[in-house]
Copies of this chain bind each other. A is one copy, B any other.
Amino acid sequence: MANQKLPRRERERLRQRQEMLATALDLFSQKGYHNVSMQEIAAQAEFATGTLYKFFQNKEDLYKALVLEQCDKFEEAITRAIEKPEDEVEKLRNYIRVKGDRFRRNLPFVRLFLAESRGVSFNIKAGLNDELRKRYYDFLEKIASIFDSGMKNRRFKEIADPYYLAVALDSVLDASLLLWLDAPERFPYPEDPDTILNIFFKGLIPS
């Protein structure tokens, strides 16, 4: 990996940064942004308070770095998942599988966002700042392009704007995962991607 080529000093710094971010994620997700102090993060991560400020300009900055990094990983994973297969339906299935996987594996991160928003059923993307919002829109574009290509192929009917379909699919997926998180017994994890896809594939009204 590229990291190995970095000078030792640089690698050490990166490792420390990761340590800090991981601790912060842990604490933020347990207590919420405003109920975690910088001293608490520093203590838990076993650094001095001042050291935190060598890596991040301020608390907000630390928070942003944390979120952006998680989103990076997330985006990367999804992008890889929809690059491989040719088949549009398979791409969508992969997307659902990978998003679900990451969701399950990053519950602290998910909780960080959800605490507030679930009450009225807003989902993860709510409240993202401009940077994140732009990235989310770009990400939706990738999903939309699957629908687009499917429509061009005549594999999909043109029932709505592809971008709009992407939004719909993503939000339904979010909602499913949140339900599962909230009450796993009542709402089982959608193991089979088709559970979700079918909502879009099988029209509800008999023709």
Q: Which residues of A contact B (CB under 8 A)?
A: 28-35, 63, 67, 71, 111-129, 132-133, 136, 154-157, 159-160, 164-165, 167-168, 170-172, 174-176, 178-179, 182, 187, 195, 198-206
* Of B30, B171, B203, the contact of A175 (CB 8 Å cutoff): B171
Query: Which residues from chain B contact A202 at a C-beta distance below 8 Å?
Result: 157, 159, 203, 205
Oligomer: number of copies: 4
* Of B122, B136, B171, the contact of A30 (CB 8 Å cutoff): B122
A-B contact pairs, 16 of them (CB 8 A): A28-B119, A30-B122, A32-B121, A71-B120, A112-B119, A115-B117, A118-B132, A119-B129, A122-B178, A123-B174, A157-B203, A160-B199, A167-B176, A168-B175, A168-B199, A171-B172
Q: Contacts A168-B175, A178-B126; is A133 near B155 (CB within 8 Å)?
A: no
6 nearest CB pairs, A to B = A117-B127, A203-B203, A171-B175, A119-B132, A117-B117, A116-B116
The CA-CA distance from A125 to B200 in the complex, in Å, is: 22
Query: Which residues from chain B contact A182 at a C-beta distance below 8 Å?
Result: 133
Query: Which residues from chain B contact A136 at a C-beta distance below 8 Å?
Result: 118-121
Which B-chain residue is minimally distant from A197 (CB atoms)? B204
The CA-CA distance from A144 to B206 in the complex, in Å, is: 18
